[in-house]
Amino acid sequence: MNNSVGNTARLIGAGLRALLVLTVICGVLYPLAVTGIAQALFNDKANGSEIKDKSGRVVGSSLIGQTYNLPKKDPNDPEEAAEPDLKWFQPRPSNGLGTNSVNTRYSLILSGATNRSADNGAVHGQCTKEAAEGTLCAQVIAAKEAVITDNSTPGHTVEPQDVPADAVTSSGSGLDPNISPEYAKLQIHRVAERNELDVKQVEKLVADHTTGRTLGFMGEPRVNVLELNTALKALTKS
């Protein structure tokens, strides 16, 4: 009997010692080591890839897209569609993913995809104006017309063939922070006019914030919309 109790006590003691050692190693030393290495070598990424304005205020993360819309006429009306504030460069569309009805204290962009097929609403295999309302084709057609209307200025008309795919379709997450250089260039004349800037100034702004392929061959050239708009805000105040 005494031997049984003694063995049990030794096993419990060994288990507790193992628990203590592993808690210290895995719960204290390892997190401290990883955090220390991340802060020392990848400080920006470890802290959320924050973007700061000219004053040093954090305005967002370079990893998460933002919308640039005018205030709603009735903030309590969930059916009222937000109108884009055309003085800013616009990101990829994120409507069609639903609206935030859970935590209404915050203006949130829902993450997710529509899960609609590329030919959803297509008529005879093509997206036309006859597409049924609410289908992907109808959304794309409406978005394309809006892009052409919004970005055409006196002396500069946007043609349908000039509209890139990312101007009328959302990404898989709906939170893509980047747009293509083609979509950024499409918006230059409108942004210049709305902010009373010279077109050459805005063209240089886009060129300065265009990032090439990673390592020269991975991915596509891109423009981070938040970084671009932060620089635009600084330019308009200078």
- pLDDT tens per residue, the chain (238 residues)? 567 877 888 899 999 999 999 999 999 999 999 999 999 999 888 898 999 888 889 998 999 888 888 887 776 776 667 789 999 999 998 765 555 566 566 556 667 667 778 888 888 888 888 888 888 888 889 999 999 999 999 999 999 999 999 999 888 787 899 999 999 999 999 999 999 999 999 999 999 999 999 998 999 999 999 999 999 999 998 6
> What's residue 204's pLDDT?
96
- Describe the strand order of the beta sheet including 178-179 as a list of residue ranges: 178-179, 222-224, 210-211
> What's residue 16's pLDDT?
95
> What's residue 150's pLDDT?
95
Is residue 61 helix, strand or coil? Answer: strand
> What's residue 5's pLDDT?
79
Is 213 in contact with 220 (CB distance < 8 Å)? yes
Residue 3's H or E segment, with its range, is: helix 2-24
> What's residue 79's pLDDT?
65
* Count of residues in the chain: 238
Q: What region, left, alpha or beta, does residue 218 occupy, with left being phi > 0 and alpha being psi -120 to 50 degrees?
A: beta
How many whole angstroms separate alpha carbon 104 and alpha carbon 76? Answer: 10
User: Is the full-model pTM beyond 0.85?
Assistant: no
Is 119 in contact with 125 (CB distance < 8 Å)? yes
| CA-derived radius of gyration, the chain | 26
> What's residue 33's pLDDT?
96
Catalogue the E-assigned strands of 28-177.
50-52, 58-61
* Sequence-distant (≥ 6) Cβ neighbours of residue 60 within 8 angstroms: 50, 51, 66, 226
